Amino acid sequence: MHHLVRTLCAAGAVCTVIASAGHAQSVESGFTAMEQEDFATAYRALRQAAAHGDPRASALMGKVFGAGPYARTPDVAIPQTQTAVRTAPARPAARGRTLAPLVIRRPPPRPFAVPTRPAPLTDEMFAPVDPVLADIGRDLFFDPVLSGNKDVSCATCHHPTLGSGDGVSLGLGTGAAGLGADRAVTGPHAAEERIPRNAPALWNLGAGGVRVLFHDGRVEHDPARPGALLTPQGPLDYMALESVLAAQALFPVLSHAEMAGRPGENEIATAVAEDRIHGDTGAWGLLAARVDALEGYRARFADWRGRTAPVRMGEIGNAIAAFISHEFRANDTAFDRYLREEAALSPEAGEGMRLFFGKARCGECHSGPLLSDQSFHAMGEPPIGPGKERDEDGYTRDIGRAAVTLDRGDAYAFRTPMLRNVVHNGPWGHAGAFSDLRDFVIHHMDPVAGLDRYSPQAVLPQLASAAPDYSALSNRMQVGAVKDAAARTMKRYAMPALSEGELDMLMAFLDALGDPASLNGRMGAPDSLPSGLQPDR
Ligand code: HEC
Ligand code: HEC
C-alpha cells in the first residue's frame, strides 16, 4: 500500500505537509504519484516545484526523499488518505494563498523494508587476512616472474589504479607492454590475439559467500562435496588451498594468451601445451621452482610458515588470494553505510535503490550482500572479439556457462557480477561490449531489442593482427542464438521499461555502490620485486 508513507511516518510524531500556492499542481501530482507508489514521478514533480523556487517544495523534498525513507529517523511524512492528498494542495491554489500546515496523525510504526533489501557486506563476512602472507602475495601479484616469458603479471590486467581491472574491453596478455588502453604489442613474443573476455574487477572476492569464479564459473565450490573444489584441473585437494580465490590464482598462469606464452617460447608454455600441469615437471611445479629460487620469496615463505621447505604452488595461490582479499575490498560504499544505518543515501540514489530492488527487478539476480546470486543468466550481451571457442563450423563464439556444464540450457549464460564499484569498472559485460554504462543498462533491460540497436563502442588496444572485432555481430546464426537465450531469460525476469528519470535514479544508485577508499588502493604497487623485474605501476 503506502510503502513510502509508512516508512516516512515510522519515527515522526506528526506528519506535516505544507502546500504551495504557486506550485500546488506539481506538489499535488507528486502526492498522487506517491499514493500510487510511483516514487519516481513523485520525486520529479517535487523537484520541479523546488526548481521553480518553491522553498517549501524543496524543504519537503529534502525531508521526504532525503531524510525520509533512507534515513534512520525520518522526521516528516506525507498524508495517509486520498482526501488529505487531494485537498491540501488544491485549495490554496484556487484561492491564491497558502494554508496553514496540515497536520496528520502518524500511522502505527512499521519496520522499514525494501522488498529484498540485502544485509550489508561486513568485514566479518571475509576470512581474516594474514598481513604477512598478503605482503608476499602483493609481490607475487605484481611479479612478471609468474608468466612464461616474464613480461606480464596479474597486476597488468587487474591494476589498483584501474579499479582492479585493465580499463579496456578485451586486453592483451603476454607479448605486450603498458597498461590500459596504452598497452601495445611488443617484444620477441609479440601478442597475436586479444584475450577473449573482459578482465573483471576483483572487488570483494575474499568474502566467504563467494562460491564461483570466472565469467563462466569454471572454478567453484563443489555443491556436492562441502569443502571441495571443482576446477578445470580437478579438485586440487593435494594443494591445501584456502579458498576458491586461491584456486583461481593458479589458472591465469596456464593460459597461453594471458601469461604462459606460446608453446616453444618458454618451458611453462611448452609444459601447458603438453598437458603437463601437476608434479615437479608440470607448469605449476616449474613456476613454484622459479619462485623458490628467489631469496626474497623463499625466506619470507619460510618465516611465515615457521620452517624451511620448497615453495609450493598452493602457497603461491593462498598468498595471492590474501592480497586480493585485503587490497580489493569495497564494502564502505554509500549503500553499505545506509544498510548499516550510518548515513542516508542521496534522494536520487535512494529512489534508485527502491527501483533496483522493486519495480526494475534488478535485485532478483543482483541479490544478497554481494549483489549477486552467483548464478548464470543469458543477458544477450553483444558477442565481440575473438570469442572463447572455435567450433567445427569455423565460427568462434563464447557460449559461457554451457562450456562448463555442457548443458545447452546454459548457452550464452554468464555469472551475475557483484556491482560494487561498478561505475569505475568499465567497459561492461563479459566481453566489454559497452563503454557507456547507461547504454549497457538500457540494453540489459531489453537485450533482444538491444542486440539490433547495439552501436560498437568497445575500447580495444591496437592490434594489427586482430580479426575484425565486430564480425560475430553480422553472423545471423550466432546473434539469433544469443537472442533466443536472452529471450528465455526475459520470460522469467522480464524487466519493465523505465522512464529517463527512473534511469537517472538507477544510475545514481549504481554510483552509490562506489567505495572511494578502496579505489585509492590499500597496499598499492611495490617499489621493487624479489625477481628484480619491474612491477607495472
Ligand atoms: C592478460 C590479462 C590477465 C592477466 C595477466 C590475469 N588476468 Fe585475471 N582475468 C582476466 C580475464 C580476461 C578474466 C576473465 C576470464 C574468464 O572469465 O574466462 C580474469 C578473471 C580473474 C578472476 C576471476 C574474477 C571473478 O570475478 O570471477 C580473478 C580472481 C583473477 N582473474 C585473478 C588473477 C590473478 C591472481 C592473476 C595472476 C596470477 C591474473 N588474474 C592474471 C585477465 C587477466
Ligand atoms: C536475470 C538476471 C539479471 C537481472 C534481472 C539483472 N541483471 Fe544485471 N547482470 C546479470 C548478468 C548475468 C550480468 C553479466 C552479463 C554478461 O556479462 O554477459 C549482469 C551485468 C550487469 C552489469 C554490468 C556489470 C559489469 O561489471 O560488467 C550491470 C551494471 C548490471 N548488470 C546492472 C543491472 C541493473 C541495473 C538491473 C536492473 C535494471 C539488472 N542488472 C538486472 C544478471 C541480471
**What pLDDT digit, counting tens, does each position of 194-223 carry?**
999 999 999 999 999 999 999 999 999 999
Among 92-106, 119-133, 198-212, 230-244, the range scoring the smallest mean pLDDT is: 92-106
- Locate the ligand 2 atom nearest the alpha carbon of residue 432 and give its number: 27
The alpha carbon of 520 and the centre of ligand 2 are apart by a number of angstroms equal to: 25
Confidence class of residue 56 from pLDDT cuts 50, 70 and 90?
low
Signed CA dihedral, 66, 70, 73, 74: sign only: positive
pLDDT by residue (tens digit) across 357-389? Answer: 999 999 999 999 999 999 999 999 999 999 887
Closest atom of ligand 2 relative to the 375 alpha carbon: 12
- Smallest-distance ligand from the CA of 213: 1
pLDDT for the residue 227? 87
User: What is the number of the ligand closest to the CA of 154?
Assistant: 1
Ligand 2 centroid – CA 83 distance (Å): 41
Per-residue pLDDT at 95 exceeds 80: no
Mean pLDDT, residues 146-174 taken together:
97
Ligand 1 pocket, residue 248 CB under 6 Å: yes
Q: Compute the average pLDDT of residues 245-264.
A: 97
Give the residue, by CA position, lying nearest to ligand 2 atom 11: 416
The residue whose CA is least distant from atom 10 of ligand 1 is: 199
- Shortest-distance ligand to the CA of residue 191: 1
Q: What percent of the chain has pLDDT over 70?
A: 77
Q: What is the pLDDT of residue 388?
A: 84
Between the CA of 418 and the centroid of ligand 2 the distance, in Å, is: 9
Average pLDDT over the chain, rounded to an integer? 85
Q: How many C-beta atoms surround the C-beta of residue 278 within 10 A?
A: 16
Residue 396's pLDDT band (cuts 50, 70, 90): confident
pLDDT for the residue 517: 94
Model pLDDT, residue 360: 96
Residue 217 Cα: closest atom of ligand 1: 27
pLDDT band at 55 (very low <50, low <70, confident <90, very high): low
- For the Cβ of 260 lying below 6 angstroms from any atom of ligand 1, the answer is no
Q: How far is the CA of 200 from the centre of ligand 1 (A)?
A: 7
**Which residue, among 436, 446, 427, 451, has the nearest Cα to 498 in the 3D structure?**
446
Give the other-Cβ count within 10 Å of 346's Cβ: 18
How many CB atoms within 10 Å of residue 208? 10
CA of 139 to the centre of ligand 1 (A): 17
Distance of CA 362 from the midpoint of ligand 2 (Å): 7
Amino acid identity for residue 171 in this structure: G
Nearest-CA residue for atom 38 of ligand 2: 362
Is 99 within 8 Å of 88 (Cβ atoms)? yes
Flag whether pLDDT at 402 surpasses 90: yes
pLDDT in tens, 318-351: 999 999 999 999 999 999 999 999 999 999 999 9
The number of the ligand nearest the C-alpha atom of 116 reads 2
Which pLDDT does position 18 carry in this prediction? 30
Nearest CA, atom 37, ligand 1 = 154
Split at pLDDT 50, 70, 90, the class of 32 is low
Give me the amino acid identity at 94.
Answer: A
**Considering every ligand atom, which ligand is closest to the CA of 360?**
2
Spatial CA neighbour of 383 closest among 487, 474, 258: 474
Q: Do the Cβ atoms of 445 and 495 come closer than 8 Å? A: yes
Q: What is the mean pLDDT of residues 419-446?
A: 98
In percent, the amount of the chain with pLDDT more than 90 equals 74
Distance, CA 114 to ligand 1 centroid (Å)?
35
196 in ligand 1 pocket by Cβ < 6 Å?
Answer: no
Lowest average pLDDT, out of 248-252, 334-338, 394-398, 489-493, goes to 394-398
Is pLDDT larger for residue 198 or for residue 49? 198
Nearest CA residue ID for atom 35, ligand 1: 249
Cα–ligand 1 centroid distance for 276 (angstroms): 21
CA–centroid distance, 416 to ligand 2, in Å, is: 6
More confident residue, 122 or 25: 122
pLDDT band at 72 (very low <50, low <70, confident <90, very high): very low
pLDDT value at 16 more than 70: no
Contact 135, 160 (CB under 8 A): no
pLDDT tier at 262, thresholds 50, 70, 90: very high
Burial of 174 (0-12, 13-18, 19+ CB in 10 A): buried
Mean pLDDT of 296-310: 98
Residues 212, 244: contact at Cβ < 8 Å? yes
Rg over alpha carbons for the chain, rounded to the nearest Å, is 27
Q: List pLDDT tens digits, range 225-240.
A: 988 999 999 999 999 9
For ligand 1, say whether the CB of 419 is within 6 Å of any of its atoms.
no
Cβ(173) – ligand 1 distance below 6 Å: yes
User: Does the CB atom of residue 213 touch ligand 1 within 6 A?
Assistant: yes
CA of 329 to the centre of ligand 2 (A): 20
Q: Is the pLDDT of residue 103 over 60?
A: no
pLDDT tens digits for 156-167? Answer: 999 999 999 999
